């Protein structure tokens, strides 16, 4: 037990923190108080702003933190955190740097970061990851399931926990993926069986905390730090080639000019032959030096230090790895060379020497297996060992995996339409729901910016919205098709890959997951063409690609047909009969509850955006409030309640059928109807008729923001037959609605079939 002085000192100074929001700070202070700790140690404010390096650096032994994802900065720059990247827009990077600097040598930190931090291709993010590898011992990354954190849009950012200790460099990192944290995912989390957290705690304390290498499980594996710090030699090779070509083209022009000047001086006798040759040689040496310097810079910039650890692992199963080792048994491996040297030797090696180098490769290491696949395909296939190794590599997938880098061709050609003032241009756009569309047509004189020329078969995507599916394949073939220079444009090598096949992959969840893994969190999405090039896809033979596309197109035909039916559906006005009466004769109105929505709470808040085009409640992206029961009691919804939107998509009605405790927001109005005069469902069905919408559009007010207020709603006239006839009309329309639901089910089935087709391509079925 510590003595009284130490105990008092720990009470006064031992535990503290900073919280931005006042209410949360108070809650944290209370938590400290009831645990016998000093509540005054919880400060309110911006922790980035509070940090004073001269006082706070290397002052903490333990830090636990869950910084906000994508938080707005309170000041333009934080030079106190990181002078070099003081204006960094992604605050997660600054928070991690702050925690690292606060730690004493040997200090420990566990921090929740958005998944994007693991892979962001920002200079600051790469620098921070490098620090965690070289100046800290990054012992563990624990991947959390999406849904642990929620947002107003539904499921929040995908997150991971980093655990590191400052001082010693990293040797290996333990990666654990949680799929079950003991609760259902989303807003209303309920306990479930199969929680993985006890396993994490056991392995962490038994192995990771002690610096021991834990055994791999179905949920976890180990990544050596050398894998993270290695750059694929094929990338280095491409960088070297591209850099040399770029500089030589430029320097050749400069050499011609320099040589011309030297020739003139030599002809005039001002320069001897020896001096002439010496100056040219000096120019060439400077060129070579410049090439090497530029290559070094470009290679250095290409190191990602990515923490997306699944990409380092090969796709071979345990059985395939055993088989691999058995094939190479008896071959003495060449282990005295680094990966770069091995790759250089492999390019010119015969079968025997190639097998010696490959025998020294780790079949669990993705880069080495990818290099092996490239090499084996170029060696004589008659050799039994070569043939067997290729079979094992192919066995990891139904089809071979390739990076898009070798199959897509970025389009660089831009024009300035204003230089062609009288030419008519077709300006294209890209939307996540409909792909490429004709945005507008203009003469060149009306267009000032630079635009890409887009031909039929080109792909275009919005680098800032590709994460929501804003990518398209151009099917148009107009003259002078262009798209904004803000987009990325490319075409594919049709000799190896079908455009429609690739487009199907772009529209898959796999692609969206890949994009979001690279840019999750608050940083603005900017999916560069280099990121696209790194995506690996299954590449079947062309005839198989064609078959896959045909299968998908059949299902798309069904989906398009269903969408046309749903889009054109409307209620036949003639079904509504009876004397026309104003709603004000038999309804009262009530405005909704005014309160900001939260991601969690004790009751759901129904908003206008929660109502679909068929007047049904949308079950995704729910909003909640946390309020006293008495305060919200007047706004609690009951079954058969009718709500109507008074702004935005004004006039839209919801027929409430849910069992979930709910209230309604202030931009909705509850219609309190006379049950002896009108059936709620009859009124709801009437809101789909032209009679209803003609009146609503005519009487709406509010200028640029239409307002369909309570008094306006009461002016709507409705044919009002007896309750018995109303019931018959409702029953007839119920059957129509049931038929629509069946049609919607056809669409869902077709979408599921497309998903299964693509899963089969990826080898997941």
Task: Determine, yes or no, domain membership for 150.
Answer: yes
Q: Are 429 and 462 in contact (CB under 8 A)?
A: no
- Give domain status of residue 100, yes or no: yes
For residue 592, the model assigns a pLDDT of 93
Cβ neighbours, 10 Å, residue 688: 20
Read out DSSP for 74-126?
SSS--TTT-GGGTT-S-HHHHHHHHHHHHEEEEEEEEEEEEGGGGT---HHHH
Is residue 591 situated within a structural domain? Answer: yes
The last residue of a domain, from among 348, 375, 396: 396
- Pairing status of strand 401-403 against strand 536-538: antiparallel
- pLDDT of amino acid 301: 85
Alpha-carbon dihedral sign for residues 43, 46, 52, 57: positive
374 and 454 both lie in a single domain: no
Question: Closest Cα to residue 428, out of 448, 454, 450?
Answer: 454
One domain, residues 150 and 83: yes
37 shares a domain with 50: no
Q: How far is CA 155 from the centre of its chain?
A: 13
SS3 label, residue 44: strand
For residue 573, is it within any domain?
no
Quickly count: other Cβ atoms within 10 Å of residue 446's Cβ. Answer: 13
Give the separation between CA 760 and CA 752, rounded to whole angstroms.
Answer: 12
Query: Two tokens at 509?
Result: 């969840």
> Residue 200: helix, strand or coil by DSSP?
helix
Query: Rounded CA gap, 691 and 576, in Å?
Result: 9
Are 680 and 601 contained in the same domain? Answer: yes
In whole angstroms, give the CA distance from residue 143 to residue 87.
28
C-alpha 488/C-alpha 471 separation (Å) is 9
Count of alpha carbons within 13 Å of 262, Cβ hemisphere only? Answer: 18
What's the CATH code of the domain at 128?
A: 3.40.50.150
CATH number at residue 703: 3.90.220.20
User: Are 162 and 252 in a shared domain?
Assistant: no
Residues 345 and 412 in one domain: no
Longest dimension (CA), the chain: 116
* Cα distance between residue 671 and residue 425, in whole Å: 51
Asked if residue 120 belongs to a domain, the reply is yes
DSSP code per residue over 344-373 = HHHHH--HHHHHHHHHTS-TTBHHHHHHHH
My answer on whether 76 and 194 are in the same domain is yes
- Count the helices and strands in the chain (H runs, E runs): 24, 30
User: How buried is 76 (Cβ within 10 angstroms: 0-12 exposed, 13-18 middle, 19+ buried)?
Assistant: exposed
CA distances from 440 to 394, 411, 426, 446, 453 (A): 47, 22, 6, 12, 15
**Tell me, what's the pLDDT at 519?**
54
Per the structure, how many domains does the chain have?
6
Q: 603 near 625, Cβ under 8 Å?
A: yes
Report yes or no on 440 lying in a domain: yes
Two tokens, residue 596: 């900001």
- The gap between the terminal CA atoms of the chain, to the nearest Å, is 59
Q: Which residues pair with 161 in a beta bridge?
A: 112, 142
| pLDDT at residue number 520 | 43
Q: What is the distance between the alpha carbons of residues 163 and 145, in angstroms, rounded to a whole number?
A: 17
Backbone φ and ψ for 530, nearest 5 degrees, come out as: -65, -35
| Cα 161 from Cα 26, distance rounded (Å) | 25
10 Å CB burial of residue 537 (0-12, 13-18, 19+) is buried
Q: What is the SS3 string spanning 635-698?
A: HECCCCCEEEECECCCCCEEECCCCCCEEEECCEEEEEECCCCCCHHHHHHHCCCHHHHHHHHH
- Is 285 part of any domain? yes
Tell whether 569 is covered by a domain: no
Neighbours of 36 (CB within 10 A): 9
Range(s) of the domain holding residue 488: 408-536
Residue ranges of alpha helices (H) inside 496-620 are 499-506, 509-518, 529-533, 542-568
DSSP 338: -
Task: Give the separation between CA 655 and CA 664, rounded to whole angstroms.
Answer: 12
466 in the same domain as 448: yes
Q: Please give the average pLDDT of every successive group of 10 residues along the chain, which has 765 residues.
A: 73 84 89 87 87 89 85 79 86 92 95 87 90 96 82 66 96 93 75 90 93 90 94 88 86 86 86 87 88 89 86 84 92 86 91 91 90 85 87 74 87 91 94 89 92 95 88 94 94 91 92 74 66 87 91 92 87 91 93 80 88 87 82 93 90 92 93 94 93 88 68 92 94 91 89 89 72
Domain boundary residue, one of 396, 425, 460? 396
Same domain, 38 and 51: no
Q: How far is CA 205 from CA 198, 435, 738, in A?
A: 11, 51, 57
DSSP element (H, E) containing 472: strand 471-473
Return d(Cα 537, Cα 212) in angstroms, integer: 36
* Rounded Cα–Cα distance for residues 489 and 755 (Å): 26
The CA distance from 358 to 346, in Å, is 9
Tokens at residue 129, please? 């990851």
Q: Does residue 181 contact residue 197 with C-beta atoms inside 8 Å? A: yes
Task: Give dist(CA 80, CA 52) in Å, integer.
Answer: 7
Q: What pLDDT is stored for residue 521 in this prediction?
A: 42
Nearest to 118 by CA among 137, 133, 107: 133
User: Do residues 89 and 524 make contact, with C-beta atoms less than 8 angstroms apart?
Assistant: yes
Regarding whether 290 and 335 lie in a shared domain, the answer is no
Which among 376, 396, 416 is the end of a domain? 396
Nearest to 389, CA basis, from 401, 379, 402: 379
Q: Phi first, then psi: give them for residue 246, nearest 5 degrees.
A: -65, -45
Helix 351-359 to helix 384-395 angle (10° resolution) is 40
3-state helix, strand, coil in the chain (%, to 5): 45, 20, 35
Tell me: do 427 and 392 sit in the same domain.
Answer: no
- Same domain? For 146 and 276 the reply is no
Place of tokens 């929660």: 610
Whole-model pTM: value is 0.62
């Amino acid at each position: 037990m510590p003595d009284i002085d130490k105990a008092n000192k720990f009470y006064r100074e031992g535990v503290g923190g900073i919280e931005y929001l006042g209410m949360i700070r108070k809650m944290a202070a209370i938590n400290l108080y009831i645990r016998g700790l000093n509540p005054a140690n919880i400060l309110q404010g911006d922790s980035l702003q509070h940090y004073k390096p001269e006082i706070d650096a290397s002052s903490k032994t333990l830090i636990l933190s869950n910084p906000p994802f994508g938080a707005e900065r309170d000041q333009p720059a934080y030079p106190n955190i990181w002078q070099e990247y003081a204006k960094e827009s992604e605050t997660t990077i600054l928070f991690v740097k702050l925690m690292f600097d606060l730690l004493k040598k040997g200090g420990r930190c566990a921090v929740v970061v958005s998944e994007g931090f693991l892979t962001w291709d920002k200079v600051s993010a790469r620098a921070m990851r490098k620090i965690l590898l070289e100046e800290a011992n990054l012992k563990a990354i624990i991947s959390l399931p999406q849904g642990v954190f929620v947002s107003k849009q539904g499921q929040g950012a995908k997150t991971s926990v980093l655990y590191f200790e400052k001082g010693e460099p990293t040797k290996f990192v333990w990666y654990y993926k949680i799929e079950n944290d003991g609760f259902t995912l989303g807003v209303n989390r309920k306990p479930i069986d199969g929680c993985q957290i006890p396993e994490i705690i056991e392995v962490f304390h038994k192995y990771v905390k002690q610096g021991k290498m834990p055994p791999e499980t179905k949920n976890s594996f180990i990544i050596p730090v050398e894998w993270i710090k290695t750059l694929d030699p094929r990338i280095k090779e491409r960088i070297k080639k591209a850099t040399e070509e770029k500089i030589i083209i430029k320097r050749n022009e400069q050499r011609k000019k320099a040589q011309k000047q030297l020739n003139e001086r030599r002809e005039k006798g001002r320069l001897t032959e020896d001096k002439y040759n010496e100056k040219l040689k000096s120019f060439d040496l400077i060129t070579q030096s410049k090439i090497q310097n530029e290559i070094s810079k470009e290679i250095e910039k290409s190191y990602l230090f990515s923490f997306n650890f699944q990409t380092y692992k090969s796709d071979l199963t345990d059985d395939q790895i055993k088989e691999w080792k058995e094939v190479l048994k008896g071959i003495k491996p060449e282990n005295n060379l680094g990966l770069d040297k091995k790759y250089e030797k492999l390019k010119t090696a015969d079968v025997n020497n190639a097998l010696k180098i490959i025998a020294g490769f780790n079949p669990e290491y993705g880069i080495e297996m990818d290099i092996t696949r490239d090499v084996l395909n170029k060696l004589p296939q008659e050799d039994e060992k070569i043939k067997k190794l290729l079979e094992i590599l192919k066995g990891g997938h139904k089809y071979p995996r390739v990076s898009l880098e070798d199959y897509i061709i970025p389009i660089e050609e831009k024009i300035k339409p204003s230089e062609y003032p009288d030419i008519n241009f077709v300006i294209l756009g890209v939307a996540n729901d409909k792909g490429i569309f004709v945005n507008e047509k203009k003469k060149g004189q009306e267009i000032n910016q630079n635009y890409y020329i887009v031909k039929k078969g080109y792909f275009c995507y919005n680098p800032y919205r590709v994460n929501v599916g804003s990518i398209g394949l151009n099917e148009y073939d107009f003259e002078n098709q262009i798209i904004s220079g803000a987009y990325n444009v490319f075409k594919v090598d049709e000799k190896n890959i079908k455009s429609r096949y690739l487009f199907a992959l772009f529209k898959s969840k796999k692609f969206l997951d890949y994009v979001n893994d690279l840019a999750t969190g608050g940083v603005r999405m900017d999916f560069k063409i280099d990121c696209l090039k790194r995506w690996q896809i299954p590449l079947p033979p062309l005839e198989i690609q064609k078959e896959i596309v045909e299968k998908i197109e059949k299902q798309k035909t069904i989906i398009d047909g269903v969408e046309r039916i749903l889009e054109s559906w409307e209620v036949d006005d003639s079904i509504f009969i009876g004397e026309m009466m104003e709603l004000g004769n038999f309804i009262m109105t009530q405005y909704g509850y005014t309160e900001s929505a939260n991601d969690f709470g004790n009751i759901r808040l129904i908003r206008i955006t929660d109502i679909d085009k068929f007047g049904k409640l949308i079950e995704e992206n729910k909003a909640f409030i946390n309020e006293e029961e008495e305060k919200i009691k007047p706004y609690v919804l009951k079954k058969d309640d009718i709500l109507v939107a008074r702004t935005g998509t004004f006039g839209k009605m919801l027929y409430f059928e849910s069992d979930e405790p709910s209230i309604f927001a202030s931009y909705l109005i509850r219609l309190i109807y006379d049950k002896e005069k009108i059936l709620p469902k009859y009124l709801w069905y009437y809101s789909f008729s032209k009679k209803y919408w003609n009146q609503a559009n005519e009487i709406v007010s509010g200028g640029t923001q239409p307002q369909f207020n309570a008094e306006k709603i009461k002016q709507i006239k409705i044919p009002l037959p007896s309750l018995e006839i109303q019931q018959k009309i409702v029953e007839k329309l119920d059957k129509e609605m049931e038929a629509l639901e069946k049609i919607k089910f056809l669409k869902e089935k077709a979408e599921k079939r497309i998903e299964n087709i693509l899963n089969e391509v990826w080898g997941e079925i």
